[in-house]
Amino acid sequence: MTDLIASLRQIVGDAHVLTEGDLTAYEQDWRRRVHGKALAVVRPATTEQVAAVVKACAANGTSIVPQGGNTGLVVGSTPDTSGQQVVLNLGRMQAIRTIDKDNLTVTVEAGCILQTLQERCEGQGYLFPLSLAAEGSCTIGGNLGTNAGGTQVVRYGNTRELCLGLEVVNAQGEIWNGLKGLRKDNTGYDLRNLFIGSEGTLGVITAATMKIYPMPASQLTAWAALPSFDAAVRLLALAHQYLGAGLTGFEVMNRFALTLVDKHMPQLRVPFIDNPAFPYAVVLEN
């Protein structure tokens, strides 16, 4: 293992191979339920460095745990307790390479924070519609690796539907450049969709070309209290009927979840929470 660590240091630099000190941010899930032990945390800065790290680990028979913002709920980015796994953290790969205003696409590296991408696009007058609670710390690579949903799935779909092309390092350390913004594409095998949602088991996503949209001229948000889940389903049908493609988000929450919000975030107002006749609530976005 000493030879492997030395090789990794040569690839990414001594400062970006972490083996000592407090590595909790990389070895523990964000809810603090699982704590692993990594052989090393490696932080590459380029796709070529990712490929070289993967080749070195493959030659040594060492398994890799790809990691973005480490905000997932299923501990998929947390190493086990063996101390034999390398955590490959892509947090240094943050570049937004290009914004193509003519084709309405953005090409971005996997370590870019979701909120950073949202704000950059907004500053150019465009919307990147993926939005979720961890957007201030989750990364685009992690969003793609888990096929994250977010709050605007009704209109824009999961992360899969927002992706047009990928750059990936496979298990042999080879780089597949599938970055493209072509929308009407009916050629060949759909390798992109094999990697999306695979959580790093088939390869390490290093960059992606994503769809963006013109910024909406206006937005409307409504909160509705409901007596049952069946009522929420009926409301969804009505929303589709009257709002059509304009329906952007439809999030159902039960009383238990809202009670937790009220308990742990007392600064927030939770409408209708004191009325037991309405155990469900829906947030609609148009």
**96-214: CATH number:** 3.30.465.10
Higher pLDDT, 118 or 34: 118
- pLDDT for 93-148, tens place per residue? 999 999 999 999 999 999 999 999 999 999 999 999 999 989 999 999 999 999 99
Please compute the mean of the pLDDT values over residues 246-273 and round it to a whole number: 93
What is the rounded CA–CA span in Å between residue 108 and residue 166? 10
What is the rounded CA–CA span in Å between residue 231 and residue 284? 14
Higher pLDDT, 115 or 286: 115
- pLDDT for 164-177, tens place per residue? 999 999 999 999 99
**pLDDT exceeds cutoff 90 at 30:** no
- pLDDT for 204-248, tens place per residue? 999 999 999 999 988 899 999 999 999 999 999 999 999 998 999
Neighbouring residues of 232: CB distance < 8 A, sequence distance ≥ 6:
226, 252, 280, 282
Residue 221: predicted pLDDT: 94
User: Has domain 2-89 been given CATH number 1.10.3720.10?
Assistant: no
Poorest-confidence range of 41-50, 231-240, 268-277? 268-277
Structure tokens of 14?
């001594």
Q: Which of 177, 145, 176, 139 is nearest to 158 (CA)?
A: 145
Estimate the share of the chain in helix, then strand, then coil, as percent rounded to the nearest 5: 30, 25, 45
**pLDDT exceeds cutoff 80 at 1:** no
Eight-state DSSP code of residue 57: H
For CATH 3.30.70.2190, the residue range(s) in the chain are 221-285
For CATH 3.30.465.10, the residue range(s) in the chain are 96-214
User: 27-36, 107-116, 145-154, 274-283: which has the highest mean pLDDT?
Assistant: 107-116
pLDDT band of residue 274 (cuts 50, 70, 90) is: confident
**pLDDT exceeds cutoff 80 at 259:** yes
pLDDT band of residue 44 (cuts 50, 70, 90) is: very high
**221-285: CATH number:** 3.30.70.2190
- pLDDT for 50-80, tens place per residue? 999 999 999 999 999 999 999 888 888 999 9
Residue 212: predicted pLDDT: 98
pLDDT band of residue 186 (cuts 50, 70, 90) is: confident
For CATH 3.30.43.10, the residue range(s) in the chain are 2-89
